[in-house]
Amino acid sequence: MNDKDAAGIVQEIDATHNAAEQGQVATDKYGHSLVQINPRVERKLRTKIDLYIVPTVALLYLFCFIDRANIGNARLAGFEKDLNLVGNDYNMVLSIFYISYTIFEIPATITCKWMGPGWFLPLTTLFFGITSVGTGFVQTRGQACALRFLLGIFEAGMMPGIAYYLSRWYCRAELAFRLGLYMVMAPLAGAFGGLLASGILKLGHFGTLHTWRMIFGIEGIITIGLATLAFFTLTDRPATARWLTEEEKDFAIARVKSERLAATVVLDQIDKQKLLRGVLNPITLSTAFIFLLNNITVLGISFFLPTIVKTIYPNRTTIEQQLLTVPPYVVGAFFVVLVPTISWYLDRRQIFLALSGPTVMAGYAMFLASMNAHVRYGAIFLTASSAFTLGAMANAQVSANVVSDTARSVAIGTNVMFGNIGGLIATWTFLPWDSPAYHIGNGLNLACSTMLVIVAMAALLWMKYDNKKRDSRSAEIQEELAGLTQQQIQDLDWKHPAFRWKL
């Protein structure tokens, strides 16, 4: 290395350190980054963060989803019969989870920011693991509803909390892929949960627990173990990461900060103005509605796939029916990683929201058109291939279209809260008296996937239109910001005249 190269690296390190300091902005007034980034150094740092951060949150989310959806596996193993559930009682037990899950979504996300994800995520995992174990001992419908309500409280902060946590570490284009790496655990939870449930049911007993009760007990204990481990492995933010050097900490902070227009800090203080900017952001609201529509399908699959498979292949054994739920989830998991990978390469998200709809539409059209077992089972693969991808893409899109850390946390929380309303609707889509054709459930999902495409495309066209309108006023930025303090400029968030919607 010659003296000129060495001097350049020293200058780059100094610039990165300055950009990482409190009170320093990392963008100019037009939103252009002031940080010089060495791609080789960035790639090395990103890989290091991947290895330390992603595996832990992925495992936590895997068992979060298993502990939520294993009630579908328990149903095949006698859950309804043992608790004397009749008519719509099972749907009621499912619904109670989403009532608390929705109510506590935004409060849990704000608590995650206030407490710090490094503490919040393991703690809430510990609580829903304990709740899962407790579900193995319920004797009545009322007890089951009470435990499911508690489970909703403790799981409310997991999906938005992890998405928000990852936004502390990754740039906009990178985030969708990393969200995909942990959200792939949702379809894998269906696959792994089916395999695990079939294996557990082969046991004679687990302590005093038998049949479906063993599913809740064993899977809950595993969750408690993972939560305990996470207390020691999760690092709250780059500045506190013992496994990063001081130079790496500065670089990790500066590169995230370089995408946050007019921001002087990465982790700002919570205030009302920024909370409102996150909730009332047009792309937050449109994406949240898209996520609501999508979750009607995703969570309908999660809760009712074992039941649907049973209506398709009624003569198979319970173990065989459990195993038949696995392949569609494997296909879904593949696309949950593939689509965010392409999104990362293109730095585009909105178009992928729209493209998720047509295959779901085709799948439910097949359900409505045919009672042939092979056609209906094949339709499940079509719906799973794209429906699960929106968990990563929707959260990445709302994260990309706000500026401050506070706005980002509540925007993600709002998106997931709307998704949970979709989950509540999903619990009533496949009703016992509508079996085996399920015209209501399949028709509703077809309508939702169609509406999803319309809303996503309309939002994309509006974003392009508004960006052009903002471009036409770019020469007036200095004039529009005249007289505002640095704090007032930061509080503008997406209303800053230099802000552009990220497609």
Q: What does the pLDDT read at residue 238?
A: 86
Sequence-distant (6+) residues with CB within 8 A of 56 are 229, 230, 233, 234
Q: Which two tokens stand for residue 490?
A: 């930061």
Half-sphere exposure of 257 (CA within 13 A, CB side): 33
In this structure, is the dihedral angle defined by the CA atoms of residues 54, 55, 61 and 62, taken in order, positive or negative?
A: positive
Q: Which two tokens stand for residue 251?
A: 């670089």
Q: What is the mean pLDDT of the chain?
A: 81
Instruction: Answer yes or no: is 119 within a domain.
Output: yes
Instruction: Answer yes or no: is 476 within a domain.
Output: yes
Q: Residue 296 above 50 pLDDT?
A: yes
Instruction: Answer yes or no: is 452 within a domain.
Output: yes
Q: What does the pLDDT read at residue 1?
A: 43
Displacement of CA 478 from its chain's centroid (Å): 38
Displacement of CA 158 from its chain's centroid (Å): 8
Q: Residue 20 above 80 pLDDT?
A: no
Q: What does the pLDDT read at residue 160?
A: 83
Q: What does the pLDDT read at residue 110?
A: 85
Give the residue among 193, 176, 213, 231 at the shortest CA–CA distance from 65.
193
pLDDT tens digits, 339-354 = 888 888 888 889 999 9
Q: Write out 465-477 in H/E/C secondary structure.
A: HHHHHHHCCHHHH
Q: Which two tokens stand for residue 1?
A: 């290395």
pLDDT tens digits, 115-130 = 888 899 999 999 989 9
Asked if 415 and 160 count as a contact pair (C-beta separation under 8 A), the reply is: yes
Range with lowest mean pLDDT among 259-273, 421-435, 466-480 = 259-273
Instruction: Answer yes or no: is 56 within a domain.
Output: yes
7: pLDDT confidence band, cut at 50, 70 and 90? very low
Q: Which two tokens stand for residue 164?
A: 């928000």
Residue 102 sits in which domain range? 43-244+275-495
Asked if 78 and 86 count as a contact pair (C-beta separation under 8 A), the reply is: no
Which residue type, as a one-letter code, is found at position 493? D
Q: What is the CA radius of gyration of the chain?
A: 24
Asked if 96 and 152 count as a contact pair (C-beta separation under 8 A), the reply is: yes
Count of domains in the chain? 1
Range with lowest mean pLDDT among 108-122, 139-153, 319-333, 455-469 = 319-333
For residues 399-404, give the mean pLDDT: 82
Range with lowest mean pLDDT among 85-89, 134-138, 358-362, 413-417 = 85-89
Looking up tokens 């295959």, which residue turns up?
Answer: 359
DSSP tag of 495: G
How would you class 368 by CB atoms within 10 Å of its CB: exposed for 0-12, middle for 13-18, buried for 19 or more? middle
Q: Residue 289 above 90 pLDDT?
A: yes
Instruction: Answer yes or no: is 249 within a domain.
Output: no
457: pLDDT confidence band, cut at 50, 70 and 90? very high
Q: What does the pLDDT read at residue 425?
A: 86
DSSP tag of 27: B
Sequence-distant (6+) residues with CB within 8 A of 360 are 297, 382, 383, 386, 387, 445, 449, 452
Instruction: Answer yes or no: is 255 within a domain.
Output: no
pLDDT tens digits, 249-281 = 888 888 877 766 555 566 667 777 778 888 888
Instruction: Answer yes or no: is 348 within a domain.
Output: yes
CATH number for the domain that contains residue 207? 1.20.1250.20
Measuring CA to CA, how many Å separate 224 from each of 134, 184, 228? Answer: 12, 21, 6
Instruction: Answer yes or no: is 309 within a domain.
Output: yes
The SS3 assignment for 317 reads coil
Q: Could you tell me the pTM of the whole model? A: 0.76
H-type helices in 136-184, by residue range? 141-155, 158-167, 172-183
For residues 362-378, give the mean pLDDT: 86
Question: How far is 282 from 259, CA to CA, in rounded Å?
Answer: 20
Residue 140 CB coordination number (10 Å) = 11
Asked if 423 and 156 count as a contact pair (C-beta separation under 8 A), the reply is: no
DSSP tag of 240: G
First to last CA, the chain: 40
Q: Residue 30 above 60 pLDDT?
A: no
Question: How far is 299 from 297, CA to CA, in rounded Å?
Answer: 6
Q: Residue 319 above 90 pLDDT?
A: no
Residue 342 CB coordination number (10 Å) = 12
DSSP tag of 377: H
Q: Which of 188-197, 225-234, 489-498 has the highest mean pLDDT?
A: 225-234
Q: Residue 95 above 50 pLDDT?
A: yes
Q: What does the pLDDT read at residue 182?
A: 78
DSSP tag of 268: P
